[in-house]
Amino acid sequence: MNLTTDVAVVGGGPSGLTAAAGLAAAGLRVLVLDREREAGGIPRHSDHTGYGLRDLRTVMTGPAYARLLANRALEAGALVRTSAMVTGWAGEHALDVTTPEGRLRVDARAVVLATGARERPRTARMVPGDRPAGVLTTGQLQNVVHLHHGKVGTRAVIVGAELVSWSAALTLRTAGCRTVLMTSEHDRAESYAAFSVPGRAVLRVPVATATRVVRINGRDTVESVEIEDLRTGERRTVPCDTVVFTGGWIPDHELARAAGLAMDPGSRSPVVDNALATSRPGVFAVGNLVHPVDTADVAALDGRHVVRHVLAYLGGTPTGAEAIPLRAGAPFRWVSPGLVRPGAGAPPRRRILLWPDEHRAVARVMVTQDGREIARRTLPWPVSPGRVFRVPSSLLSGADPHGGPITVSLA
């Protein structure tokens, strides 16, 4: 069966649904393809508050936020097909889709990839030991507890101390499971103090920094973990029956790779410019697919940003000047967008997003091009692993549009 549409949006999370709502409101035929049974993405099973602040100027729970975005897309006129897995490309803008009713081919004039990101599980982190039940990622945990109302253990160790790690701690508490330890390989916990301080006080979760899990023990279910102090090399055993691996994000980039899109080696995401356009004309990428990982509302604002650029492409507006590569200097692993195209306007929220590998209490940002410093500014927020660092895009205003790559680093 063949379907035709103006825009195919792959992924029904916050960025995909927001893009779909905007494009459908502009009068386009929009088809959203989502592999889950319900649209909404990760917020569907993140049953705590904190969603919608930046995009909706309100605060709500994850499930309520997911329902609102899905309803807005439908009310705008977008067609949302769930249980629809995109398995490959049948052309420049054509997609092969598998559904319970059979296989589809979707021919579109433009494609927006909004496939999001996932946490790296235990196997990808190469943690040795036994292979018992009770080892999860945050997404798996929340799916079990909030969507299927299943049970977990009574004593948990959380690997990672990011914002999502505290989300895991809240979910564990809802399930009646006490978090006996949260570990971080960094010298300081990665999450904002606004979350970690109340988390330690209210949830009574001890946080061990400069610590890593080196072994999981258990025959049928988890019985304990062995952790190592990275400063002293000392090891100790922590009894538990549940282990939750959090963070360690990687984009769901398989479809982007199958298209042969230019990929960023640091983030493993498709390279996009300030219009969120990829290396294939008419294919755009948004949300945590291109900055793994930021909050749901920031991802949604990517979806809002891309609307006018998709409309411009479909209207025949030329791409514009040659794009300038944007590179991440020390201590950053990646930068998004990876290209700056003069004349394409500012990136989403007028921010350049970077992922740091180390903590810096004072952020002295330096921007250079062709061996010349074009900007320097001390920003009032720290640099910390495990969360996105934001730089005003105005720091790139002094770049030569005909010059070489631009590097953003810390002085």
Residue 106 contacts residue 93 (beta carbons within 8 Å): no
**Dihedrals φ, ψ of 213, to 5°?**
-85, 125
Residues 113 and 254 in one domain: yes
Residue 49 contacts residue 336 (beta carbons within 8 Å): no
**Dihedrals φ, ψ of 6, to 5°?**
-75, -50
Please report whether residue 210 resides in a domain: yes
Query: CATH no. for residue 141?
Result: 3.50.50.60
Coil, strand or helix at 104: strand
Q: Where are the alpha helices (DSSP H) in 26-162?
A: 53-56, 62-76, 122-125, 138-142
Find the farthest-apart pair of alpha carbons in the chain and give their distance in angstroms, rounded. 63
Exposure string of 243-254, with b = 16+ CB inside 10 Å and e = fewer, is bbbbbbbebbbe
Residues 353 and 296 in one domain: no
Coil, strand or helix at 397: coil
Residue 293 has a pLDDT of 95
Extract the tokens encoding 220: 């049928």
Residues 295 and 163: their CA atoms lie apart, in Å, by 9
Residues 341 and 350: their CA atoms lie apart, in Å, by 14
Q: Where are the alpha helices (DSSP H) in 11-135?
A: 14-25, 53-56, 62-76, 122-125
Question: Which helix (H) or strand (E) segment is 24 a member of?
Answer: helix 14-25
Residues 172 and 192 in one domain: yes
**Which residues make Cβ contacts (< 8 Å) with residue 331, sequence separation at least 6?**
356, 357, 358, 360, 383, 409, 410
Residue 114 contacts residue 13 (beta carbons within 8 Å): yes
Please report whether residue 125 resides in a domain: yes
Residue 98 has a pLDDT of 98
Which of 276, 303, 319 corresponds to the end of one domain?
319
Residue type, 354: L
Residues 68 and 57: their CA atoms lie apart, in Å, by 13
Please report whether residue 218 resides in a domain: yes
Residues 123 and 135: their CA atoms lie apart, in Å, by 10
Residues 285 and 309 in one domain: yes
- With a cut of 70, which residues of the chain have pLDDT below it? 192-202
Residue 134 contacts residue 219 (beta carbons within 8 Å): no
**Which residues make Cβ contacts (< 8 Å) with residue 320, sequence separation at least 6?**
341, 342, 343, 344
Q: Which residue has the tokens 């250079």?
A: 368
Please report whether residue 326 resides in a domain: no
Residues 243 and 269 in one domain: no
Closest Cα to residue 159, out of 358, 355, 386, 359?
386
Residues 41 and 104 in one domain: yes
Other residues' Cβ atoms within 10 Å of the Cβ of residue 204: 12
Residue 203 has a pLDDT of 76
Residues 215 and 281 in one domain: no
Report the domain count for the chain.
3
Residues 125 and 321: their CA atoms lie apart, in Å, by 41
Please report whether residue 332 resides in a domain: no
Residues 126 and 241 in one domain: yes
Which of 319, 340, 356 corresponds to the end of one domain?
319
Q: Tell me how far CA of residue 9 lies from CA of 20, 223, 282, in angstroms.
A: 7, 44, 12
* Domain range enclosing 375: 348-410
Residues 7 and 13: their CA atoms lie apart, in Å, by 16
Please report whether residue 329 resides in a domain: no
Coil, strand or helix at 164: helix
- CA 168 from chain centre, in angstroms, equals 16
Residues 143 and 240 in one domain: yes
Residue 363 contacts residue 410 (beta carbons within 8 Å): yes
Residues 96 and 155 in one domain: no
Residue 363 contacts residue 393 (beta carbons within 8 Å): no
Please report whether residue 264 resides in a domain: yes
Q: Which residue has the tokens 């994000």?
A: 249
Residues 153 and 93 in one domain: no
Query: CATH no. for residue 384?
Result: 2.60.40
pTM of the model: 0.96
**Which residues make Cβ contacts (< 8 Å) with residue 403, sequence separation at least 6?**
324, 369, 370
Which of 274, 298, 319 corresponds to the end of one domain?
319
Please report whether residue 338 resides in a domain: no
Which runs of E-coded beta strand occur in 122-209? 135-137, 155-159, 178-183, 207-208
Residues 49 and 32 in one domain: yes
Per-residue pLDDT reduced to its tens digit, 284-314: 999 999 999 999 999 999 999 999 999 999 9
Extract the tokens encoding 77: 């006129």
Say which DSSP state 331 is in: T
Residue 302 contacts residue 241 (beta carbons within 8 Å): no
